[in-house]
């Protein structure tokens, strides 16, 4: 009788411990399976996001051919000589489009429209009557550009000029340039940003009356290069 009384509680304890251990191991296994399943789902979502192109990381810039474009507005002074010599204060608009061959060189077309108010020399100490005029010039230029340090742009090229004022219509040929700094050239992705520039421009009229023009403007704009 004594052995039976002693062994029954011991047997019960052993059975209870074994059952508890089985439940604990089962719970741990289920938790591990759940963690592995969550990790697999997160990996699948990440791969799907990458494959759809929605990654937040910017694409590194590659040194290859791409579109070069931009525009600016400017103001400045110059001289127009056609039958009379006139000092011109004017505003300009410029548009640029072409090819950025690599990170250093570009070729593009630049169209400029100059609208100026001219003052005849009689207004500066002469006894002749003082008068003013409005002149309109359009310049089309083929420009080659060098970019240094991802921001400094130096460009120049030949141009064709047409326009006129009270002195009559004019047409000719000339040369235009541009010295600019464009912000935004550093970092990854396409180089683009606001630009500040000095734009010298000049040429010769080949129509009756001859003459020519030159001016210097200071421009604010935006460029992608």
Handedness of CA 102, 103, 104, 107 (dihedral sign): positive
pLDDT score of 200: 94
Other CB atoms within a 10 A radius of the CB of residue 204 amount to 15
Average pLDDT over every residue of 139-144: 97
Residue 201: the pLDDT is 92
Task: Write the pLDDT tens digit of every residue in 63-82.
Answer: 788 999 999 999 999 888 86
Q: How confident is the model at residue 16 (pLDDT cuts 50, 70, 90)?
A: low
Confirm if 221 and 94 have CB atoms less than 8 A apart.
yes
User: Distances in Å between the alpha carbon of 86 and those of 1, 38, 66, 210, 220?
Assistant: 134, 79, 42, 14, 26
pLDDT at 94: 96
Mean pLDDT of 110-116: 92
Identify the CATH number of the domain defined by range 66-224.
2.40.160.20
Q: Which residues lie closer than 8 Å to 123 by C-beta, 6 or more apart?
A: 130, 131
């Amino acid at each position: 009788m004594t052995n039976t009384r002693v062994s029954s509680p011991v047997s019960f304890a052993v059975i209870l411990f074994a059952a508890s251990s089985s439940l604990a191991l089962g719970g741990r296994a289920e938790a591990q399976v759940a963690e592995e399943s969550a990790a697999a789902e997160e990996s699948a979502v990440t791969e799907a996001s990458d494959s759809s192109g929605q990654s937040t990381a910017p694409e590194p810039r590659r040194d290859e051919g791409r579109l070069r474009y931009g525009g600016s507005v400017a103001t400045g002074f110059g001289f127009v000589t056609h039958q009379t010599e006139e000092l011109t204060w004017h505003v300009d608009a410029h548009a640029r489009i072409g090819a950025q061959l690599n990170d250093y060189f570009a070729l593009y077309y630049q169209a400029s429209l100059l609208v100026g108010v001219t003052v005849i020399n009689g207004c500066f100490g002469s006894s002749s009557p003082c008068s003013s005029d409005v002149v309109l010039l359009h310049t089309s230029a083929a420009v080659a550009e060098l970019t240094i340090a991802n921001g400094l742009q130096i460009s120049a090229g030949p141009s064709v000029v047409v326009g006129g004022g009270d002195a009559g219509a004019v047409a000719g040929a000339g040369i235009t340039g541009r010295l600019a700094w464009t912000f935004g050239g550093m970092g990854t992705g396409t180089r683009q940003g606001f630009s500040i520039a000095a734009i010298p421009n000049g040429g010769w009229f080949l129509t009756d009356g001859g003459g020519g023009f030159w001016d210097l403007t200071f421009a604010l704009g935006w460029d992608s290069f």
